Structure 1
Amino acid sequence: MRTAEQVTFGGAGLDRAAKVRNDPAALAAALAHDDAACVLLWRGKPLVEGERLALVPMTHPVLKKGFKGEIEAPVFLGLETSGAPNFAVDISGWEPEGQDISSLGSFFDPSEQTHPDFPPGYVFAELRRIMFALSPRDAELVATAKAIVNWHGSHRFCAKCGHASDVSHAGWQRGCPACKAQHFPRTDPVVIMLITHGNSVLMGRSHGWPQGMYSCLAGFIEPGETIEAAVRREVLEESGIKVGKVEYLSSQPWPFPASLMMGCRGEALTTEIHCDPEELDDAIWVTREEMMQVFAGEHPKIRPARKGAIAHFLLQNWLADTLD
């Protein structure tokens, strides 16, 4: 796609400086760098100031309190163009006294939490709600930080023998002291597809989604399966629609918790929908004219796709005829 770089979390050329990860001296120098800073996470929510990611200096008092999180040491993310190192730090053990946390973990958490060590305007906010407003650099940093911290939270034990594993390589590896197995951050490949037939696009909604929310169909790629085969299988399983030609369009890192969305388009060979009730709550064909109403916020049934999600990106380019 001519505009593929514009997808949220699409990257801004972060220098990940992987050679630093297993170099104790280089890592110590990075931590001690005058401009070293971190993406601060609390229960999956990044610290932000307005529509900007709030990078916290590694000398900030909050980092000296030792709050227990998904990982108890900074994860090295990479270097700014200036050479300043960036890290990810999780303080999920902090308890926000007297603040609303009832919606934590919900699909669209509207709550914000404030920490007493930061001035007014600094809040922990749900990434899904703010992702579209972030700069490419902030989006890449926070997506990387959130995904790697999520991985540590679910991979504390060796998958081979069950023994507690140890963090190594500045947070980019875990090693088992018992069986010596090495474990690396996991990324789950997912296909998300713009399925069209003539002037219409196939849209579906999952159970539990907010009222009026529809999106492109999506599903995990299975072992031994190509991207194209996964597109055809998932669409057939979920909606009963047979798909012919499939083309890859663009990808998006998706840290909810740690996926790589592979955006594709496919040509439908059939049009009669037969929803799998376990997979979808509903699926419908939407014409281009109707989708224009959706994007304008004027459709009586369908809400616009969330800004920042690759589904919004694909549909927007379909409407603008800029997929190729």
Structure 2
Amino acid sequence: MDGKLDRLSGHRSEPGWYSEKLNAPDTRIAVFTADKLMVHAGPAGSGGMQWHSSEQLPVLVQGTEPVFLGIDTEGVNHFAAQAADNELEPADGMIALDLRSIALQGLVSDDNLGLAAQARALLQWHVRHRFCSNCGASTRPDDAGYKRVCDTCSGEHFPRTDPVAIIAITRGQSMLLGRSARFASGMYSTLAGFVEPGETAEDAARREVFEESGIRVGEVRYVMSQPWPFPANLMLGMAGEATSEEITIDPDELDDARWFSFDEINAMGNGSHPDGLQLPPDISIAHHLIRQIMDG
């Protein structure tokens, strides 16, 4: 499986379609307990996600409804489910871990990590949106997990995705990096913030950089994006040119922000910085934004 599942969005509302796919004999179901995914224990790269059959489902989830992830090129359907018992014990040889730990330890392939992110974002949305925001009545899942419906007021609710602008700012041969109190010791990263209503991603990036560091930003270009299911963010990665140099930190947002020379950033990336400073891990879009700019 290459991880590029067909989500079949044009078929998910067809009568009987969901039940047919869920109960197909070779259907595979990933199971989360609380916010942790069942994966094979062992050295990095030795295992992967634990997949269950539809026959195992009643014991695992006790009535909660799985969400459809997609179908692979061999016609195998993939679902994800939230265990009703948040303390479900993993089977022998398995372990339940949060996605950050799974990614940092390299326990699943990049393709399966994308599936895990899709699954967690959908399942967490269902957990948090059991009631109608219009009338307060209970809602029910529909469209194979991509919609919730209120039968009281006929309201329809869809999974939310919160866009975040994250931007690497350069000025000559230097890059602006900052750190917040929640970062690992010695780690510096690009600046980021949520896109607000009525705002472009480019304007959000300029605003966040100015609010956090006092730096004005001119030209901005899009580089890449990354889903970040904590719980449902979409990181919009950009690069920008600073039009000012003096930093004024907002202490509510950052502990520190500095201009780092490209040579210093290379040292941070290869672990040779004299002060032990480091870049974000390579599971993050910030790491790849920095590396792409450094590689020209």
Which segment is superposed worse, 39-48 or 288-297? 39-48
Map of 1:45 onto structure 2? 36
Identity, % of aligned positions: 41
Query: 1:182-210 CA distances to partner (integer Å, 9 max, x unpaired)?
Result: 00000001100000111111111122222
Q: In 2, Cα distance between the equivalents of 1:25 and 1:150?
A: 25
Q: Do the aligned residues in 1 keep the contact of 2:26 with 2:76 (CA within 8 Å)?
A: yes
One-letter amino acid of the structure 1 residue matched with residue 287 of structure 2: H
One-letter amino acid of the structure 2 residue matched with residue 14 of structure 1: L
Q: In 2, Cα distance between the equivalents of 1:200 and 1:245?
A: 16
Q: In 2, Cα distance between the equivalents of 1:92 and 1:200?
A: 50
Residue 214 of structure 1, CA deviation: 1.6
- The size of the alignment, in residue pairs, is 288
2:223 counterpart of 1:249:
yes
**Aligned match for 2:171, one of 197, 201, 219:** 197
Residue 242 of structure 1, CA deviation: 0.3
Q: What pairs with 1:145-294 in structure 2 (closer than 5 Å)?
A: 145-294=119-268
Query: 1:158-200 CA distances to partner (integer Å, 9 max, x unpaired)?
Result: 1112222111111110111221110000000110000011111
Residue 255 of structure 1, CA deviation: 0.7
Q: In 1, Cα distance between the equivalents of 2:237 and 2:4?
A: 20
Q: Secondary structure at the match of 1:65?
A: helix
Distance 1:60 1:294, change over 3 A: farther
Q: Do the aligned residues in 2 keep the contact of 1:46 with 1:53 (CA within 8 Å)?
A: no
Residue 12 of structure 1, CA deviation: 4.5
Q: Do the aligned residues in 1 keep the contact of 2:29 with 2:54 (CA within 8 Å)?
A: no
Which segment is superposed worse, 128-137 or 254-263? 128-137
Map of 2:81 onto structure 1? 89
Query: 1:280-310 CA distances to partner (integer Å, 9 max, x unpaired)?
Result: 1211111111111111112214223112100
Query: 1:256-276 CA distances to partner (integer Å, 9 max, x unpaired)?
Result: 110110000000111111111
Query: 1:192-232 CA distances to partner (integer Å, 9 max, x unpaired)?
Result: 00001111111111222221122110000011111111111
Q: Do the aligned residues in 2 keep the contact of 1:15 with 1:78 (CA within 8 Å)?
A: yes
Q: In 1, Cα distance between the equivalents of 2:267 and 2:237?
A: 23
Q: Higher relative CO (CA 8 A, sep ≥ 6), structure 1 or 2? A: 1
Q: What pairs with 1:69-148 in structure 2 (closer than 5 Å)?
A: 72-91=64-83, 93-95=85-87, 115=90, 118-120=91-93, 122-131=94-103, 133=106, 134-148=108-122
Residue 72 of structure 1, CA deviation: 1.3
Q: Secondary structure at the match of 1:17?
A: coil
2:27 counterpart of 1:54:
no
Q: In 1, Cα distance between the equivalents of 2:211 and 2:6?
A: 40
Q: Do the aligned residues in 1 keep the contact of 2:117 with 2:227 (CA within 8 Å)?
A: yes
Q: In 1, Cα distance between the equivalents of 2:253 and 2:84?
A: 32
Residue 53 of structure 1, CA deviation: 3.2
Q: Do the aligned residues in 2 keep the contact of 1:37 with 1:55 (CA within 8 Å)?
A: no
Residue 42 of structure 1, CA deviation: 1.6
Q: In 2, Cα distance between the equivalents of 1:95 and 1:267?
A: 49
2:8 counterpart of 1:13:
no
The TM-score, its normalising length taken from structure 1, stands at 0.84
Query: Over aligned residues, Cα RMSD in angstroms?
Result: 1.9
One-letter amino acid of the structure 2 residue matched with residue 95 of structure 1: E
Q: Do the aligned residues in 1 keep the contact of 2:268 with 2:278 (CA within 8 Å)?
A: yes
Q: What stretches of structure 2 of length at least 5 have no aligned partner?
A: none
Which segment is superposed worse, 280-289 or 235-244? 280-289
Q: What stretches of structure 1 of length at least 5 have no aligned partner?
A: 1-10, 97-113
One-letter amino acid of the structure 1 residue matched with residue 28 of structure 2: A
Q: In 2, Cα distance between the equivalents of 1:185 and 1:53?
A: 27
Q: In 2, Cα distance between the equivalents of 1:316 and 1:84?
A: 36
**Aligned match for 1:35, one of 16, 22, 26:** 26
Which segment is superposed worse, 221-230 or 278-287? 278-287
Q: Do the aligned residues in 1 keep the contact of 2:60 with 2:84 (CA within 8 Å)?
A: no
Q: Do the aligned residues in 1 keep the contact of 2:3 with 2:115 (CA within 8 Å)?
A: no
2:17 counterpart of 1:23:
no
Residue 58 of structure 1, CA deviation: 2.2
The TM-score, its normalising length taken from structure 2, stands at 0.91
Q: In 2, Cα distance between the equivalents of 1:169 and 1:218?
A: 33
Distance 1:92 1:234, change over 3 A: farther
**Aligned match for 1:316, one of 283, 291, 294:** 291
